[in-house]
């Protein structure tokens, strides 16, 4: 082998082997991508370097962020990686990501909780800081452009069948909201909430669909609309 050319396998790279195994063990069926926190043993910069090396060697695919300045959004094993794992007697029969075309599946970052009752702090879901996990979604059901997800807490939107524990899918606004009753994630006084947005006489009305919760009326300059809710994911644990 040419000593000036890096090896394209990981047989003599224990750190790369450890990260590859960690990705697989975090999600043996490929249903989600692990977070950097799950993979981090030392410094995050070291994990990023190892992921770069695994990607260059063809063991990992990464879903990229919309901007080149942001970190990548997800880590997925390739057929080459699954073959290496099988050679080490790992059961990879349930891992699906390598066999699903990237055009059919997109991963959306779950960026923490949002209240559907009383607003809560948004600090836990600053993008690229505290991603809880990455959720695979069918591309055909999503618009072109960035999407993210938030987990609902509270019951103020039960009239729209949005209940505690649901994960709402959110599309950031590229312009001004219409204010004709669309369901939005609104940031008010550094707190976030899910509500219907109606604009009346120049003011933002944040309306619940549960009559037990009041309407909030705010001046537009006091409200930042983070995005429009376009769907949700619900996982029922009854009977599990």
Q: What is the largest CA-CA distance in the chain?
A: 74
Nearest Cα to 64, choosing from 54, 56, 75, 48? 75
Ordered DSSP codes for 84-124: HHHHTT---TT--GGGS-TTTEEEEEEEEEEESSS-B-SGG
List 72, 156, 174, 236, catalytic entry: 156
The Cα–Cα gap between 41 and 125 comes to 23
Task: Verify whether residue 156 is a known catalytic residue.
Answer: yes
Helix, strand and coil content of the chain, in percent to the nearest 5, comes to 20, 30, 45
The Cα–Cα gap between 77 and 55 comes to 9
List 33, 72, 195, 209, catalytic entry: 195
161 backbone φψ class: left, alpha, beta (φ>0; ψ -120 to 50): left
Task: Verify whether residue 195 is a known catalytic residue.
Answer: yes
CA 100: distance to chain centroid?
Answer: 18
The Cα–Cα gap between 91 and 82 comes to 9
Q: Which residues are catalytic?
A: 156, 195
């Amino acid at each position: 082998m040419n000593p000036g050319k890096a090896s394209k396998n990981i047989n003599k790279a224990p750190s790369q082997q450890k990260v590859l195994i960690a990705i697989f063990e975090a999600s043996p069926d490929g249903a989600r991508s692990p977070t950097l926190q799950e993979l981090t043993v030392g410094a995050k910069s070291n994990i990023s370097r190892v992921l770069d090396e695994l990607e260059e060697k063809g063991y990992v695919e990464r879903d990229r962020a919309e901007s080149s300045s942001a970190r990548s959004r997800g880590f997925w094993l390739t057929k080459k990686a699954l073959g290496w794992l099988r050679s080490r007697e790992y059961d990879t029969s349930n891992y699906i990501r390598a066999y699903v075309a990237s055009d059919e599946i997109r991963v959306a970052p779950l960026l923490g909780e949002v209240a559907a009752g009383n607003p809560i702090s948004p600090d836990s879901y600053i993008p690229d800081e505290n991603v809880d996990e990455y959720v695979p979604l069918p591309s055909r059901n999503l618009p072109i452009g960035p999407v993210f997800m938030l987990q609902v807490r509270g019951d103020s939107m039960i009239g729209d069948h949005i209940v505690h524990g649901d994960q709402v899918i959110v599309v950031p606004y590229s312009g001004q909201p219409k204010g004709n009753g669309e369901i939005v994630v609104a940031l008010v006084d550094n707190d976030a909430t899910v509500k219907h947005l109606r604009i009346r006489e120049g003011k933002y009305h944040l309306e619940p669909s549960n009559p037990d919760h009041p309407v909030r009326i705010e001046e537009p300059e006091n409200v930042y609309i983070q995005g429009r809710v376009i769907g949700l994911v619900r996982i029922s644990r009854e009977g599990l």
